[in-house]
Amino acid sequence: MELFMDLERAFGFGFNNVRYSDGLLRIEITNGGEITSVDSVQDRKRRRKDVITNGGGGENEKEGMSVTTNPPAPRVTELHINSLILAAKSQFFYKLFGMIESAKKDVTLRIEASEEEAVMELLNFMYTNSLSSVTEVPALLRVLMASQKFEVTSCMEYCTRVLLNIPMTLPNVFLILRLPSSLLRAESVRPLIYATMDYLIMYYKDISKFPVEELMALPLVGIFTLLASNDLMIASEDIAYEVALKWAKTNYPVLEERQEILGRLTRYIRFPYMTCSRLKKILTSDDFTPPVAYKLVMDALFIKAEPLDHWPVERAYTYRPIKTVEFDVPHRQCIVYLDLTRKECHAMYPSNQIYSEKFHLGGQEFLLLASCNKYQQNGLHSFGLSLTTQEKGQVSLTVDYEFSARWKPTNEFFIRSKAKYKFTGVECIGYMDLFGTTWASFLGEYSPYFINDVLHLRAQLSICP
């Protein structure tokens, strides 16, 4: 234990110094597969057959050879090493030296040319506890990958600390997120991954501001990160699904591969918040195999019927989610349920609005609009609710509509207003003061309109015969 504690100090004087060595490290450097970027090594797996002890003999050497015709002779670099220092820093070398019975610890490593610089820096780190000459992010990431390969946890932690002190940029974020998946999951690298994901989420928080081409170029882990975020600002969950679908189609043109990757993305899509019309389209599309599509839609519909505390976490939607029930007989009818929290209503003061998701009736597209309105005569504010259309060129449609809200103490819906209106285009009709009370009274502590701090609204639309 004392030896390992002492080895926490720097031993730079002993690096490649025969006086402080008990073995020779022979590094064979091959030219197979130059690596020019971090993400091109994502799938490389470290193989024990790339390590040969001098006493290993022919069988191990045969296993370590590349399956090529007349491979070029590797370049060779030799370093004097101290097996105690390397074994103390690296589980890889600890296990390797444990297999050598002789006092002289001579070993051979076989690496690719693209790894040479990072491996040499790593070996130097095991003696000095620093990477003074490595300051650029790509180089640090290559050392980080080498640290994982040779199981040098202290160097992984060191690289993580240095990278966290470098200001985040989008190119560096993509380099980090393209690291091998096993490295992304490593405990010592986790603070860096969390910081990187936080930066990516904040950068793309409002995805509507970015060109579609830029979003489509995100790596897989990037699109995972965005879709998993609760803070993603989007109009509705329909948009989140459309982004995921378009990304999958752009990056995976083969149907079977696209279905597989969409299946992995589904865990980050909040399907219960999607509109019923969009869920219906999933059933008739080839986005998923029929059994998967059916299960996703049915599960979403079942959750829609549950209380809100059974729903997944809600994002920062521009359009508030709704529940809808549609009937075709005795006449076409649509019942829409919109829930607003007390906090959301507070945020509407003094003149803000909240739009619901879109819903359809008789070929027309509607939205509900909740608003905080001010009367010019007395300066008082009140809660308003309106029905709006946003499509031009539609045939005229006469609709009977009524607005209701749940009240204490019965918690039943009571009709607040009802009327008939003929829609002929883009219009907004409704009530500036739905409850006939001031804004302060509406939001007051003893307000009868909030049940467990939630305002429950209902709009019922029917097409007149």
Distance CA 98, CA 171 (A): 42
* Predicted confidence (pLDDT) at residue 56 exceeds the cutoff of 70: no
* Predicted confidence (pLDDT) at residue 326 exceeds the cutoff of 80: yes
| Confidence (pLDDT) at 226 | 94
Distance CA 118, CA 123 (A): 9
CATH code at 319-463 = 2.60.210.10
Find the mean pLDDT for residues 255-280.
93
The CA–CA distances, whole Å, from 29 to 65, 111, 433 equal 12, 5, 79
| Confidence (pLDDT) at 88 | 87
| Confidence (pLDDT) at 203 | 95
Angle at 268 between CA 264 and CA 273, to 5 degrees: 130
Distance CA 458, CA 273 (A): 17
* Predicted confidence (pLDDT) at residue 57 exceeds the cutoff of 80: no
Tokens representing 162 are: 């240095």
pLDDT category at 376 given cuts 50, 70, 90 is: confident
| Confidence (pLDDT) at 8 | 57
Give me the DSSP letters along 437-460: S-HHHHHSTT-TTEETTEEEEEEE
| Confidence (pLDDT) at 71 | 65
pLDDT category at 35 given cuts 50, 70, 90 is: very low
Angle at 426 between CA 420 and CA 431, to 5 degrees: 45
Higher confidence at residue 115 or residue 45?
115
Distance CA 444, CA 438 (A): 10
Q: If residue 107 lies in a helix (H) or strand (E), which one and from where to where?
A: strand 107-112
| Confidence (pLDDT) at 12 | 62
pLDDT category at 10 given cuts 50, 70, 90 is: low
* Predicted confidence (pLDDT) at residue 405 exceeds the cutoff of 80: yes
The CATH-assigned architecture of domain 2-168 is: 2-Layer Sandwich (3.30)
Q: Among 3.40.440.10, 3.30.70.1230, 3.40.50.960, 1.25.40.420, name the CATH number for the domain at 204-310.
A: 1.25.40.420
| Confidence (pLDDT) at 41 | 38
* Predicted confidence (pLDDT) at residue 195 exceeds the cutoff of 90: yes
Tens digit of pLDDT for each residue in 119-131? 989 988 988 888 8
Higher confidence at residue 363 or residue 419?
419
Q: Is the four-CA dihedral 139, 247, 304, 319 of positive or negative sign?
A: positive
Distance CA 237, CA 399 (A): 28
Please tell me if the domain spanning 2-168 has the same topology as the one spanning 204-310: no
pLDDT category at 4 given cuts 50, 70, 90 is: very low
Q: If residue 51 lies in a helix (H) or strand (E), which one and from where to where?
A: strand 51-53
Q: Where are the domains of the chain?
A: 2-168, 204-310, 319-463
Distance CA 395, CA 436 (A): 34
331 bridge partner residues: none
Answer whether 301's CB lies under 8 Å from 275's CB: no
423 bridge partner residues: 397
| Confidence (pLDDT) at 70 | 60
